[in-house]
A = this chain, B = another copy of it.
């Protein structure tokens, strides 16, 4: 199996996890065990303090789920240690890991509209950006430029492309200079104040999966596929636009 998730140790304290599933960084069932290995390493390593997630693919940070994969490849995966399905399990574990994690998002980070999203976003996003804006993000389901994402509080900061790498590297290096125990204890308190309980996240996955299986969504996905979904090109480059056209 090709390596999609690359873990690089810039130092014992500062790691990078780079997503590399050409050509579009579509997330599939085969990505899950690889990402799980990275998360487990982050959870259990005694030295790492900060992890930056980035992408090796130009124009794409991480895109929607792989709708061409066989359903059994997803449904046959065992539940994770939290009792959640593998994808939300890993996201929850990363949230609680005793390190700082930073997403260096360069390029698209997409989902697919017309379905209920799964994995925790509906429990998390309203707590981050407020109810009204979260409703807009989910129900309008359009592309979202970085500057608007910053205004909404969806991302911490939107930076010019030329400054992004240095900015993130500087933050990560700074965090890496601090005491790991102080980082993990501080984060644990923030977790108590800000993480949704797992029981809010658990039902999202089943409802999301059921929504994908419904004829309305299958028809929508089929139409997008006919136009070039899952292939490099305009549909993936402007997915928000095409998602808005397909139901009219």
Contacts and interface: CB of A to CB of B under 8 A. Distances in A.
A244 B156 contact: no
B195 A131 contact: yes
Given A177-B247, A178-B247, A216-B179, A135 B190 contact: yes
A188 to B, nearest CB: 9
The contact size tier of chain A is 35 or more
A216 to B, nearest CB: 4
B126 A244 contact: no
Q: List the number of copies, as a whole number.
A: 3
A171 to B, nearest CB: 5
A122 B182 contact: no
A235 B216 CA distance: 52
Nearest to A171: B140
A136 interface: yes
Interface string A130-172: 1111111011111000000011110110000000000000010
Given A130-B153, A135-B190, A174-B244, 20 more contacts: A100-B139, A114-B178, A117-B186, A122-B192, A123-B192, A123-B193, A124-B131, A127-B131, A129-B130, A130-B194, A132-B155, A134-B190, A134-B194, A141-B174, A141-B178, A142-B174, A179-B211, A182-B211, A182-B216, A185-B207
